[in-house]
Amino acid sequence: MRPRRFISGNPLTGRIRVPGDKSISHRSLMFGALAVGESRVTGLLEGEDVIATADALRAMGAKIERRQNADAVEWVIHGVGVGGLQQPENAVDMGNSGTAVRLLMGLVASHPVEVRFVGDASLSSRPMGRVITPLSETGAQFEASEGGRLPLTLRGICPAIPITYRLPVASAQVKSAVLLAGLNTAGITKVIEPVPTRDHTERMLKGFGADLQVEEVDGERIISLRGEAELSPQIIDVPGDPSSAAFFVVAALIVPGSEITIENVGLNPTRAGLFEVLRKMGGQIVEENRREVGGEPVADLRIRHSPLKGITVDPAIVPSMVDEFPALFVAAAFAEGTTIATGLEELRVKESDRLAVMAEALAHIGANVEEQGDGITITGTAGEYLPGAEGSIKTHLDHRIAMSMAIAGLGSQSGVEIDDTSPIGTSFPDFEQLLDQLTSAD
């Protein structure tokens, strides 16, 4: 356990660069491992989740090296080719990474190998049924713990059956798992998305040379992938993770006198919903030096302290900011008026039940919060600091809860103590260091 109290102090000032995008980092390693030849990646997020992905791919035959060059760290991946994944000698430990385990389940499903996936207490509490269901249709077999949870044994099949799968809920992880199973499956694998989700998988698979088409029919996205793909190695520069930037954006908006710049932030439209919502609330978030890197839009974000107003969040935007709602809840607690967000059922099956945990945590430090079945209502302080609390906040091993409540502490009178900051390392190892840097008086 690594508790820490976060309390109001200096405004946030300066320039920072957040770690590489976690979603793109996972996929860079996976697709590089399935390409034939050498891929090179800079800007990779070196959090515990991504390292778990690298270790899992090594266990299945890929050669992955971390090289410290004079000006940057470079990850070099020698792939085994689509269909070339090998039987790991031991169980594959995915730590806390739900994204990695679900995507790897997709990869393994169409390979003739048997893999036992294990994880930490948080990951082992999360249901995998929404991935097991479509992958079972391809012919893969599963032996899961009660409730479709880890530990879980997957027996892949080759040749697998190409499927057409309509997503019952908006989930980029499920979509990606089905498409990745299709890479080593003869024929056309299709995913139908009634509601668009983040599209890193589609963009990157195209970049690696997969035969993938996206069309819109009657308001739905249909993604078609031709299997038995041949992926070509790539050179990738991973943009900064907007989910990591979110905490500093909110902190600068709520702490008076703050003005910061966050460099090189990925602004994929399927990921940037939070910034759109915060602007509607009155947040000053300016994009500078907008450019495109590896098919992904990128810009530097300049953020100034701003008086915020509560709004009703359009449920249609939820998939583009599903991981950022804990940070939004903090912003709403400082806004003038009431913020209402619904359609958030997905938050209940993350690293923790983020609706319940954030509602309890914010109420504990004095916020006016009401939790509903699929959403939350928060009446803000109109910029006044929250009281804070003496006891510690239970983060339930959830990195986003820990970071969100740390930011809330910067806008509190008596501070907010986080019961354990160590889970932050799964996605953002330098979070506390960068926060201290921005709040330093120097």
pLDDT digits 0-9 by tens, 246-289: 999 999 999 999 999 999 999 999 899 999 999 999 999 999 99
Q: Looking at the domain assignment, is residue 216 inside a domain?
A: yes
Given a contact cutoff of 8 angstroms between Cβ atoms, the answer to whether 300 and 270 are in contact is no
Tokens of 439: 């709040």
Q: Looking at the domain assignment, is residue 229 inside a domain?
A: no
Instruction: Find out whether 58 is annotated in a ligand binding site.
Output: no
pTM metric for this prediction:
0.84
Q: Looking at the domain assignment, is residue 96 inside a domain?
A: yes
Q: Looking at the domain assignment, is residue 230 inside a domain?
A: no
Q: Are residues 280 and 420 in the same domain?
A: yes
Q: Are residues 120 and 85 in the same domain?
A: yes
Q: Are residues 218 and 249 in the same domain?
A: no
Q: Looking at the domain assignment, is residue 237 inside a domain?
A: no
Instruction: Find out whether 173 is annotated in a ligand binding site.
Output: yes
Q: What are the angstrom distances between the C-alpha of 395 and each of 7, 91, 94, 249, 330? A: 17, 28, 20, 21, 15
Instruction: Find out whether 126 is annotated in a ligand binding site.
Output: yes
Q: Are residues 40 and 154 in the same domain?
A: yes
Please identify, among 194, 224, 254, the residue that sits at the C-terminal boundary of a domain: 224
- What CATH number does the domain containing 169 carry? 3.65.10.10
Instruction: Find out whether 323 is annotated in a ligand binding site.
Output: yes
User: What value does the mean pLDDT take over residues 160-164?
Assistant: 98
Q: Are residues 15 and 26 in the same domain?
A: no
Domain count, the chain: 2
Q: Are residues 91 and 146 in the same domain?
A: yes
Distance from C-alpha of 146 to C-alpha of 144, rounded to nearest angstrom? 7
Active site residue 323: yes
Please identify, among 192, 224, 256, the residue that sits at the C-terminal boundary of a domain: 224
Q: Are residues 247 and 336 in the same domain?
A: yes
Tell whether the model's pLDDT for residue 62 goes beyond 80: yes
Please identify, among 224, 253, 288, the residue that sits at the C-terminal boundary of a domain: 224
Q: Looking at the domain assignment, is residue 205 inside a domain?
A: yes
Q: Are residues 11 and 102 in the same domain?
A: no
Q: Looking at the domain assignment, is residue 408 inside a domain?
A: yes
Q: Are residues 196 and 56 in the same domain?
A: yes
Instruction: Find out whether 27 is annotated in a ligand binding site.
Output: yes
Give the pLDDT of residue 442.
62
Tokens of 191: 């995913």
User: What value does the mean pLDDT take over residues 190-197?
Assistant: 94
Q: Looking at the domain assignment, is residue 235 inside a domain?
A: no
Residue among 21, 323, 398, 420 flagged as catalytic: 323
Q: Are residues 319 and 420 in the same domain?
A: yes
Distance from C-alpha of 188 to C-alpha of 167, rounded to nearest angstrom? 17
Q: Are residues 131 and 262 in the same domain?
A: no
Q: Are residues 9 and 44 in the same domain?
A: no
Give the pLDDT of residue 426.
86
Give the pLDDT of residue 359.
97
- pLDDT class of 296 with cuts at 50, 70, 90: confident
Instruction: Find out whether 15 is annotated in a ligand binding site.
Output: no
Instruction: Find out whether 350 is annotated in a ligand binding site.
Output: yes
pLDDT digits 0-9 by tens, 84-129: 999 999 999 999 999 999 999 999 999 999 999 999 998 999 999 9
Query: Residue 73's domain spans which residues?
Result: 22-224
